[in-house]
C-alpha cells in the first residue's frame, strides 16, 4: 500500500538530476545548509508524490517549519518528512545522507522508511509487519552489557556553553562506562538504523525534532531495542 509506494519514490529520487547549490553557514559555523534551491527541490519532489496519492493527510517537514509554518502533530493521519537528513554530510560529500518519511495516526508511527542514498540502503518498517533492510529482516544485537556496546550519538549543531558542556560530559560519562566505542555518522536517521541492523548496540541523542526520528524509530522499535532518552 502506501508504504510500498513511498519506498518506490525514495528509490526514484536517487536518479533525479542534481541542481546547482550554494553552501550557507550559520553564524556559529557549525551548521551548514545547502541553499533552498536544492533541499526544497528534494522536499518538493517527495511531497508532490505523497500529496498526489493521499490528498487528505497532514504533513510535517523540516522545510515547512523552516519556512515559518506553524505545524503541530495531532491525531490526524500525518506524514513526517525530512528530505535531506545529514545536510552537512551532503555539503562535504561525506557518504551518509538519508531521506526519511514516517506516517503517523493518533501520534503513533504506523510505518517508517529511511533511504540511505549513497549506500542505496532502504530501511522499511511497518507496525505489525516487521522491519527490513532491502527486503531482508532486521534484528538488533540484544547486548545488555554497556561495556560491550558500540554507541552511536551526535554532537549536534548547538555551540553555546551549556550545549557544549552537556554534550562533552555525556560522551565523557559514556567513555567512563568503558563502552567499546562512540560513533557519529552525522545523520540521526542512519544512526538509529545502525542499531536496527546490529552494527551498533545503543543510540543516544538529545534535542532532535520529530522528523529526525519518526521514520528511523519504527525500524529500531520493531527490531526490539530500547531507545534511551537520557543517561540519568
Q: Which residues are catalytic?
A: 62, 82, 84-85, 87, 212
Ligand-binding annotation for 206, yes or no, is no
Instruction: For the chain, give the number of residues.
Output: 232
Give the phi and the psi of residue 219 in degrees, each rounded to 5. Answer: -60, -40
Give the phi and the psi of residue 121 in degrees, each rounded to 5. Answer: -115, 125
> C-alpha distances in angstroms, 182 versus 40, 52, 153, 192, 201?
33, 42, 7, 13, 10
Ligand-binding annotation for 82, yes or no, is yes
Query: Rounded to 10 degrees, what is the CA torsion of 192, 190, 152, 200?
Result: 70
Ligand-binding annotation for 160, yes or no, is no
Give the phi and the psi of residue 29 in degrees, each rounded to 5. Answer: 65, 10
Instruction: State the pairing for strand pair 202-203/150-152.
Output: parallel
Per DSSP, the three-state class of 59 is strand
Check: CB of residue 122 under 8 Å from CB of residue 11.
yes
Per DSSP, the three-state class of 79 is strand
Numbered residues of the known binding site: 62, 82, 84-85, 212
Numbered residues of the known binding site for Mg(2+): 62, 82, 84-85, 212
Amino acid at each position: 500500500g502506501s508504504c510500498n509506494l513511498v519506498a518506490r519514490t525514495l528509490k526514484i529520487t536517487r536518479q533525479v538530476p542534481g541542481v546547482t547549490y550554494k553552501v550557507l553557514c550559520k553564524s556559529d559555523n557549525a551548521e551548514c545548509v545547502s541553499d533552498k534551491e536544492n533541499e526544497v527541490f528534494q522536499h518538493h519532489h517527495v511531497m508532490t508524490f505523497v500529496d498526489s496519492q493521499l490528498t487528505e493527510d497532514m504533513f510535517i517537514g523540516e522545510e515547512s517549519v523552516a519556512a515559518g509554518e506553524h505545524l503541530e502533530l495531532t491525531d490526524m493521519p500525518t506524514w513526517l518528512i525530512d528530505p535531506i537528513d545529514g545536510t552537512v554530510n551532503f555539503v562535504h560529500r561525506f557518504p551518509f545522507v538519508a531521506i526519511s518519511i514516517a506516517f503517523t495516526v493518533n501520534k503513533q508511527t504506523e510505518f517508517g522508511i529511511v533511504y540511505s542514498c549513497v549506500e542505496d540502503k532502504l530501511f522499511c518498517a511497518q507496525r505489525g509487519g516487521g522491519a527490513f533492510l532491502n527486503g531482508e529482516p532486521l534484528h538488533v544485537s540484544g547486548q545488555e552489557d554497556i561495556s560491550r556496546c558500540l554507541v552511536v550519538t551526535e554532537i549536534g549543531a548547538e555551540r553555546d556553553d551549556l550545549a557544549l558542556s552537556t554534550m562533552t560530559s555525556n560522551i565523557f560519562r559514556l567513555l567512563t562506562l568503558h563502552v567499546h566505542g562512540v560513533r557519529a555518522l552525522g545523520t540521526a536517521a542512519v544512526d538509529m538504523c545502525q542499531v536496527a541492523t546490529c552494527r551498533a548496540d545503543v543510540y543516544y541523542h538529545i534535542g532532535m525534532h520529530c522528523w529526525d526520528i519518526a521514520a528511523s524509530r519504527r525500524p529500531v522499535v520493531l527490531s526490539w531495542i530500547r531507545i534511551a532518552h537520557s543517561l540519568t
